Amino acid sequence: MKKVLLYCFIALYSLSYSQNNIPAWLQNLTQSEVGNALKDALKVGATRASERASAKDGFYKNPLVFIPFPEEAKIVKEQLIKIGKKDKVDSFEKSLNRAAEDASKKAANIFIDAILKMTLQDAKNILVGGDSAATAYLRKTSSNALYDAFLPIVQKSLESVGAAQQWKNITELYNKIPLVRKVDTDLPAYTTRLAVRGIFIYLAQEEQKIRKNPTARTTPDMQKVFGAMDKGSSSSNQ
C-alpha cells in the first residue's frame, strides 16, 4: 500500500512539474492547433527554402551559400589565376553552384516527408525550443536523405557541363608537380555536402521569418499559435 501511495505521489508530482514548465500561452492551445501550426510552418519554410535555393543564382550569387573552389585545392586556383586562367576558375565555380541549384529542387519533398512523421511532442519541442529549433529538427531527420538525393543530381550536373572531367584534368596535372601535397577531392561529394549546408541556411532564414514576421504566417493555425507565442514572449519580458 505504501508503494502504491508513493507511486501515485511521484506521478502527481511529475504531472504538476511538467504542467508548470509548459508556458501559459501554450496551455491555452489545443494539440491539434499546435501540431497543425508547426507542420504548416515547416512545410511553408521548406518550400520557400527549396524555391530560393533552386532558383538561378540561388547559390552562385548568394555569398552565404556560394560553393567555392575546394579549400584543399586553393593553391591550384591561385596558380590558374596567376597564369591568366581566372575565367576557367569562374566557370568551374559556377558549375559547382549550378549543380547545387539543380539538386535543391528535391529538398522540399524530402523535408515534407520528415514533417509528416513529426509527433506532437516534436511540435511542442520545436515551438518552445528557440529560434532555430525547427531547422535543427529537420537537420537531424533529413540530412542523410538530402545527401543521398542530391548526390546523383550533382554528379550528373557536373558531368553534363564538363566540370567533373575538368577537375580530374586539373588535379592530375597538379599532382604531377614534385613535392606538392596531393589533391584528392571527391568533387560530387564536396559539392553535395555544401549544397545540403546551403539548403539549411535558407531554411533557417525562412524559420526566422515565420517566428518574427506575422505576415509570413499564411494559415489560420500558424497565425493563432505563433501569435499566442508572440504575446507570451512579450508578457514574460515585461
* pLDDT of amino acid 59: 97
Q: Which residue has the cell 489545443?
A: 30
Angle, helices 31-54/187-212, rounded to nearest 10 degrees = 130
Tell me whether residue 30 is exposed, middle or buried, using C-beta atoms within 10 angstroms of its C-beta: 0 to 12, 13 to 18, 19 or more: exposed
Positions of the chain with pLDDT under 70? 1-23, 25-26, 177, 179-180, 184, 233-238
Tell me the per-residue pLDDT of 99-118, one tens digit each, with 9 for 90 and over: 999 999 999 999 999 999 88
Number of domains in the chain: 1
Tell me the per-residue pLDDT of 21-31, one tens digit each, with 9 for 90 and over: 556 766 778 88
Q: Is residue 211 part of a domain?
A: no
Q: Is residue 76 part of a domain?
A: yes
Q: Which of 158, 145, 137, 34 is nearest to 94 (CA)?
A: 158
What is the number of other CB atoms lying within 10 angstroms of the CB of residue 230? 14
* pLDDT of amino acid 18: 42
Q: Is residue 37 part of a domain?
A: no
Q: Determine contact, residues 104/195, Cβ cutoff 8 Å.
A: yes
Q: Assign residue 214 a region (left: φ > 0; alpha: ψ between -120 and 50; beta: otherwise).
A: alpha
Q: Is residue 126 part of a domain?
A: no
Query: What is d(CA 93, CA 172) in angstroms, rounded to the nearest whole number?
Result: 18
Q: Is residue 138 part of a domain?
A: yes
* pLDDT of amino acid 143: 95
- What is the span of the domain harbouring residue 143? 67-117+133-206
Q: Which of 50, 37, 39, 40 is nearest to 200 (CA)?
A: 50
* pLDDT of amino acid 234: 62
Q: Is residue 217 part of a domain?
A: no
Q: Is residue 47 part of a domain?
A: no
Q: Which residue has the cell 614534385?
A: 178
Query: What is d(CA 87, CA 80) in angstroms, rounded to the nearest whole number?
Result: 9
Q: Which residue has the cell 586539373?
A: 170
Q: What's the grid cell of residue 227?
A: 501569435
Q: Determine contact, residues 132/207, Cβ cutoff 8 Å.
A: yes
What is the number of other CB atoms lying within 10 angstroms of the CB of residue 207? 25
Angle, helices 107-116/133-160, rounded to nearest 10 degrees = 150
Q: Is residue 60 part of a domain?
A: no
- CA 82 to mean position of chain CA atoms: 36
